[in-house]
């Protein structure tokens, strides 16, 4: 039985974006909404959350006039309490979709109970190859000739959820981690903007590991 997530009845969809660092993927989403207009793009960013204070991703949100929140793991007695606090802070903005864009923490049961099936992550490798925090470094060390990025729904594993879309990037002779990551992030930003817009505008279904976006979903019904 497929979990159906039909197109929002009153677009644009509300996006909450979680970041831990520079936030260039967040910026790509903000730029897409700004350039195309929230109605045409199908979504707008209503909140940006982080597990760290003072990161550039939060400053990008502030500059765009978007509310932010920070929930640091170290401020809670245990991981479950932090996870609950993160889930509550996110839920307070009533998002239709939550996007993990360079958010470097694994969320827990409470967060997934609230946002499972509408929590999207971007990962800088072609999953299931090179999951985890060092996807670019690991692909380089392995000697892969092609790597890339994956936008996927988050489940209770580390980078194991159903794949929505992927984009390939060649590894070039002489690449170091930073040069390769920059080229991957270029592809990643384009892919994320495209995927989030399509999820929001067209709806989607998740059946086991198979994600179908709007037009593909219609063909399979």
Q: Which of 110, 49, 52, 48 is nearest to 79 (CA)?
A: 110
CA distance 216 to 221: 9
Query: Of the listed 123, 181, 215, 220, which one is catalytic?
Result: 123
Smallest separation, CB 101 to ligand GRF (Å): 5
Answer yes or no: are the C-beta atoms of 75 and 21 closer than 8 Å. Answer: no
If one asks whether residue 148 binds ligand GRF (CB under 6 A), the answer comes out as: no
Site mask for ligand GRF (CB under 6 A), range 85-104, x = bound: ----------------xx--
| Nearest approach, Cβ of residue 190 and ligand GRF (Å) | 13
Q: Which of 122, 147, 167, 205 forms a contact with ligand GRF (CB under 6 A)?
A: 122
Distance CA 194, CA 145 (A): 25
Binding string to ligand GRF for residues 16 to 45, with x set by CB under 6 A, is what? Answer: ---x-xxxxx--------------------
Task: Determine the interface stretch with ligand GRF among 33-41, 119-127, 162-170, 202-210 (rule: CB under 6 A).
Answer: 119-127
Q: How far apart are CA 126 and CA 103, in angstroms?
A: 18
Residue number, nearest CB to ligand GRF: 102
Under the criterion CB under 6 A, does residue 188 sit at the interface with ligand GRF?
A: yes
Query: Strands, E, within 21-70: which ranges?
Result: 43-50, 68-70
Nearest to 24 by CA among 184, 150, 135: 184
Asked if 5 is an active-site residue, the reply is: no
Q: d(Cα 130, Cα 147) in Å, to the nearest integer?
A: 9
- Give the catalytic positions in this structure: 123
Binding site for ligand GRF (CB under 6 A): 19, 21-25, 57, 101-102, 122-124, 185, 188
């Amino acid at each position: 039985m497929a979990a159906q997530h039909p197109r929002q009845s009153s677009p644009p969809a509300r996006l909450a974006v979680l970041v831990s660092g520079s936030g260039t993927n967040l910026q790509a989403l903000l730029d897409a909404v700004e350039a195309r207009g929230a109605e045409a793009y199908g979504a707008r960013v209503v909140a940006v959350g982080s597990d760290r204070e003072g990161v550039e991703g939060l400053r990008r949100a502030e500059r765009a006039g978007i509310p932010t929140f920070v929930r640091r793991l170290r401020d809670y007695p245990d991981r479950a309490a932090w996870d609950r606090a993160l889930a509550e802070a996110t839920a307070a903005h009533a998002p239709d979709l939550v996007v993990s864009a360079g958010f470097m923490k694994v969320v827990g049961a409470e967060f997934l109970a609230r946002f499972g099936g509408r929590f999207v992550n971007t990962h800088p490798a072609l999953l299931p190859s090179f999951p985890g925090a060092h996807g670019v470094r690991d692909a380089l060390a392995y000697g892969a000739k092609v790597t890339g990025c994956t936008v996927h729904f988050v489940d209770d594993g580390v980078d194991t959820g159903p794949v929505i879309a992927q984009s390939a990037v060649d590894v070039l002779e002489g690449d170091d981690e930073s040069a390769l990551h920059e080229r991957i992030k270029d592809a990643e930003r384009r892919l994320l903007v495209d995927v989030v817009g399509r999820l929001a505008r067209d709806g989607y279904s998740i059946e086991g590991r198979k994600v179908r976006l709007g037009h593909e979903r219609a063909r399979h019904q």
